[in-house]
Amino acid sequence: MGEGRQRVLVLSALLVALLVAAAFLFTLNRYEGPRGAATGGASGCGGEVEEPQEEPEGEEPVVFGTGEVEAEPAQIKYQVKEGEKVCTTLTVEPMDGIASVDDHCGGDGEPAVADLDEATVSAVLSAYAEIKDKVCTSADCPPGARVEVLLANEQQRVLKLPEGSNLKGVLQKILDGTKEVPLDNTPPPVPEPEAVVVTLAPEQGLSLSDGKILSNASPLKVDLICYASSKTVDLQAGAGPTMAYQKSLKLFRTPGGLAAKFGSLADVPEEAPAETDRDMVHHAQAGNGFSLQGNVSQGWAVLWVSEASTAGVTLSYQWFK
């Protein structure tokens, strides 16, 4: 009996041990806490459990949307037909604030460009927004009834342009305005006065205001007088009412003090002589430039020597009243 009871006790102890081991393994497999080297955090055994971080107060979490922002129109092209031919193309670039017009029926081939003010650009964008979804094909929308649009993201669209649409009215207004005002917004060039060309021989004088030449001239009766010299000729200002009152003459010089040479009358500075300028053109040479106060003429002139010799001098001049 003692030996049988002892066996029962041993078997009971083994069974209890197996049940305890099974319970431990079951609990270990169901553990859902933080994982570390053992049961700790990143520091291994004994590490602390990290608490979930909260969003800072006053800040919204970032949410990424899936929709696309509508691109702005970078170019709006509008064509106008005359008969069976497209003769005019208006291209508006709202982002740059410019418009250009191509004339395909008689133009010089170069587009004319104009700047658009902010109000016009705003009107174009507002009118475009009204029809941006009216997509059509080129066959359905002939020139004059459509606009071709290039978006900032390089997508292209052809939109229907109804007769009474605001966009057509704005585009037509831009087109009409460019026909009335020069597209480069610059005034037409003012034609320069034609230069007067004269030739003076020694002892001849010139009246600048009317271009008349006097022979055996007196300095008292002319604005400029020509004298013979050893190399070519000399040019001097007139004088009056007596020889003591010689008029001003300014010979344009280089920084080194030599008489400057100019390629044409247009290159000579438009600078009136000062009261103290009392130069003369000694041994006149082609290219000399000078300004002269009138003696018998009311005003002043800029003069340029194109040819000079002992026989005389050829001058071009412009008169300023």
314 — pLDDT class (breaks 50, 70, 90): very high
B/e letters for 61-92, b = 16+ CB within 10 Å, e = fewer, are eeeeeeeeeeeebbbbbbbbeeeeebbbbbbb
How many whole angstroms from its chain centre is CA 234?
51
Is the per-residue pLDDT at 43 higher than 50?
Answer: no
208-217 confidence digits (pLDDT tens)? 999 999 999 9
Higher pLDDT, 57 or 257: 257
- My answer on whether 219 and 295 are in the same domain is yes
**Structure tokens, 142:** 């002939």
Contact 236, 219 (CB under 8 A): yes
Using the 3D structure, point to which of 180, 207, 225 is the last residue of a domain.
180
Average pLDDT for 171-192: 65
- My answer on whether 122 and 216 are in the same domain is no
Within-domain flag for 19: no
- My answer on whether 202 and 263 are in the same domain is yes
- My answer on whether 200 and 280 are in the same domain is yes
Q: How far apart are CA 297 and CA 252, in angstroms?
A: 22
The 3-state DSSP class for residue 267 equals helix
- My answer on whether 200 and 305 are in the same domain is yes
Within-domain flag for 165: yes
Q: How far apart are CA 229 and CA 313, in angstroms?
A: 12
Contact 238, 205 (CB under 8 A): yes
**Structure tokens, 65:** 């949307």
81-115 confidence digits (pLDDT tens)? 887 788 888 999 999 889 888 887 876 667 778 88
- My answer on whether 134 and 176 are in the same domain is yes
Higher pLDDT, 303 or 188: 303
- Strands (DSSP E) contained in the chain are 73-82, 85-93, 98-103, 112-115, 146-151, 156-160, 196-200, 205-207, 212-214, 224-228, 233-237, 249-251, 289-293, 300-309, 312-320
Using the 3D structure, point to which of 126, 151, 180 is the last residue of a domain.
180
pLDDT of residue 87: 84
CA atoms within 13 A on the CB side of 104: 12
pTM over 0.75: no
Contact 238, 300 (CB under 8 A): no
B/e letters for 37-55, b = 16+ CB within 10 Å, e = fewer, are eeeeeeeeeeeeeeeeeee
- My answer on whether 301 and 200 are in the same domain is yes
2 — pLDDT class (breaks 50, 70, 90): low
Higher pLDDT, 177 or 203: 203
**Structure tokens, 320:** 């300023």
Average pLDDT for 210-226: 97
Q: How far apart are CA 149 and CA 75, in angstroms?
A: 6
Q: Which of 5-9, 40-44, 192-196, 267-271 has the lowest mean pLDDT?
A: 40-44
Q: Count structural domains, the chain.
A: 2
Within-domain flag for 47: no
Within-domain flag for 309: yes
Domain of residue 81 covers 73-180
Q: Which of 38-52, 65-79, 157-171 has the lowest mean pLDDT?
A: 38-52
- My answer on whether 227 and 316 are in the same domain is yes
Within-domain flag for 88: yes
Is the per-residue pLDDT at 137 higher than 50?
Answer: yes
Average pLDDT for 117-138: 90
Within-domain flag for 48: no
Within-domain flag for 156: yes
Using the 3D structure, point to which of 180, 210, 227 is the last residue of a domain.
180
pLDDT of residue 296: 96
Q: Which of 80-84, 164-168, 183-187 has the lowest mean pLDDT?
A: 183-187
Is the per-residue pLDDT at 58 higher than 50?
Answer: no
Higher pLDDT, 250 or 140: 250
Within-domain flag for 58: no
Q: How far apart are CA 11 and CA 8, in angstroms?
A: 5
Q: Return mean pLDDT, the chain.
A: 82
The 3-state DSSP class for residue 12 equals helix
- My answer on whether 114 and 143 are in the same domain is yes
302 — pLDDT class (breaks 50, 70, 90): very high
Q: What percent of the chain has pLDDT over 90?
A: 47
Average pLDDT for 171-180: 78
- My answer on whether 224 and 132 are in the same domain is no
- My answer on whether 116 and 214 are in the same domain is no
193 — pLDDT class (breaks 50, 70, 90): low
- My answer on whether 126 and 240 are in the same domain is no
Amino acid, res. 234: D
**Cβ neighbours for 95, distance < 8 A, ≥ 6 positions apart:** 72, 73, 74, 152
Q: How far apart are CA 301 and CA 238, in angstroms?
A: 13
Q: What percent of the chain has pLDDT over 70?
A: 75
How many whole angstroms from its chain centre is CA 277?
44
